[in-house]
Amino acid sequence: MSGEVLAFILYFVAMLGIGVWFFLKSKSNSEKDYFLGGRQMGPWVTAMSAQASDMSAWLLMGLPGSILAFGLGQAWIGIGLAIGTALNWIIVAKRLRKFSEAAGDSITVPQYLTNRFLAKSSALKIVCAVVFLISFTIYVASAFSAGTTVFTTLFPNLNPTLAMVIFAAIILIYTFLGGFKAVCWTDFLQGLLMLVALLAVPIIIVCTKSLDTAALSTTYSYIENGKTVECVFTPNLFAAGWKEIVSGLAWGLGYFGMPHIIVRFMSIEKPSMVKKSATVAIIWVVITLLAAILIAYFGRMLLAEQLLTTGSQKLVFIELARMLFPGFIAGILLAAIIAASMSTADSQLLVASSSFTSDIYKPLIRKNASDKELLWVGRIIVLIVSVVAFFIANDGGEGAQAIMNMVENAWGLFGAAFGPVILLSLFWKRFTYNGAVAGIIVGAVVDLGWLLWLSSTGIYEILPGFIACLIVAVVVSLCDKAPSKEVLAIYETATAKDSDN
């Protein structure tokens, strides 16, 4: 057995062990414990799990590969994500933790938005839950596909379907058994692994390799879909056009409406812990993004001809790890790519499950369902979503490709539809339920409309969608009657100085 294979086996045994541990250890059978960890997550686990669930294999494959091929101008999405991460932790995290508890001890984003306005109607909660369930099923399918790609790259003789089964089964087991705590702790460890892996490669290169800058100015090319792609490296960050810069920065807006990330804010044990979590999270994001850029920069000098003549730039991290480290250590570093995919998929599985269980099953199907029943319904939904996602990802036809392409736009849809509504719910006392509903609908419609008919403008659809949602939510709220005293009381309770417990 090679060192790489041994490292992978040990890694997956550790992940499964965490799920089994929390299943056996758990003394609570409550819905809140399974989906939100009983609001007992510490600052380090909260921070690292939030960031690991955010950054998928894109951080180790997509971003370095794009920069290696086309230059530093490709880093603007990463810059936008870093700014968005910082603003989300600084502006949203602590207030959402307080508001979610003040608003009926909400455990999901749709539930929070409904309880925040003491709405008797379940319409908003149901619409949000359905969108979450569909979108996250597709997201999970994408993660399964990415994980399979890594498996088959590292183990060329492994059947792709078998690779996907293994990858999906491991995620399913520890999410099914351990719930939110297992997901957070596995994401915490996977976040550490990603950090170590991203730092180790550029540090070893600087210490051991002599670098030839000639490769930076050399043009390489490869054939993709019958067309020649020219790989010209631009060392100037500002060489990108204004549309690319604006669109890259606009990615940061998505964080304010991203359910699988902001639900971490709701789970932290005390609002006072958010400051430490924010510090850890922001430092993690900045370091990992800078490391990914350095990997691409050094990779261009060491592996440009090998990778760019075949269009294999996304493998730069894999090839550098194998070049620089012995088998077992390389296997641990390469497990970081799997960790990135797993930490995203498990979080999305749990959010999709919690949205269905808390926002559809309990209010519409079984109002008197016990905690134990809701717990097992949640686990069954995790299983169903995983199975559906598996078949979507395993479909090699054009349909699967079309769905996977839609995933790239789901970030924009979430950010445009929910981002402004979350912000207004936290900072504007006059905000109303009707304003929230109108904002979500208009934000989603504008985002999708821009994607379908105006994407040729080069402007990322989240930007017009976000602006439209914000304007409509404000205008409708101002035209609506003022919130009741009871709704205002929720705002006052959440913003009171002594609410930090």
Helices 123-154 and 160-208, interaxial angle, to 10°?
70
pLDDT score, position 256: 94
Q: Residue 496: how many CB atoms within 10 A of its CB?
A: 11
Q: Note whether 365 and 358 are within 8 A (CB).
A: no
The two structure tokens encoding residue 301: 């000098």
Q: DSSP label at 106? A: -
Helices 43-54 and 76-87, interaxial angle, to 10°?
150
- Across the chain, which has 501 residues, the per-10-residue mean pLDDT values are 78 78 62 54 77 78 88 90 95 93 86 90 78 77 78 80 86 71 74 90 92 87 86 84 86 90 85 90 94 94 91 89 89 82 77 79 79 80 86 64 59 91 96 94 92 88 95 97 94 80 56
The two structure tokens encoding residue 304: 């440009």
Query: Going from the N-terminus, what domains does the chain have, and what CATH number goes with each?
Result: 3-398 (1.20.1730.10)
pLDDT score, position 403: 46
Its pTM stands at: 0.86
Q: DSSP label at 315? A: G
pLDDT score, position 58: 77
pLDDT score, position 463: 95
Gap between the Cα atoms of 215 and 57, Å rounded:
26
CA neighbor of 462 nearest in space, from 265, 279, 301, 247: 247
pLDDT score, position 291: 95
- Only one residue has tokens 């994001």, namely 285
Q: Residue 1: how many CB atoms within 10 A of its CB?
A: 7
Q: Note whether 359 and 119 are within 8 A (CB).
A: no
| b (16+ CB within 10 A) / e for 399-437 | ebeebbeebebbbbbbbbbbbbbbbbbbeeeebbbbbbb
pLDDT score, position 40: 59
Burial of 224 (0-12, 13-18, 19+ CB in 10 A): exposed
Gap between the Cα atoms of 481 and 75, Å rounded:
45
